[in-house]
Amino acid sequence: MRINRDFVLSKLEKLQNEFEGYYGTDLTDIANELGVTWHGLQKRYPRGKVTIPHLKVLGI
């Protein structure tokens, strides 16, 4: 599956609302759901080019 920014953002927002936060393992779970590695997500959204605040917090 292609990495969809809206999908990743919606998952992170859901975790934020449900648990008042999320961890790196949550990002790994999202990556597994997409069929990519955590590193693949990191490459797709490099630190300097990310405009999603949720992903900046995780260091992506």
pLDDT 10s digits, 26-50: 888 988 999 998 888 878 766 545 4
pLDDT tops 70 at residue 1: no
Of 49, 48, 47, 32, the C-alpha closest to 8 is 32
Of 3, 12, 7, 15, the C-alpha closest to 39 is 3
Count of domains observed in the chain:
1
Domain range for 40: 5-57
For the entire predicted model, the pTM comes to: 0.65
Could you give the C-alpha distances from 13 to 7, 31, 51, in angstroms and in order? 10, 15, 14
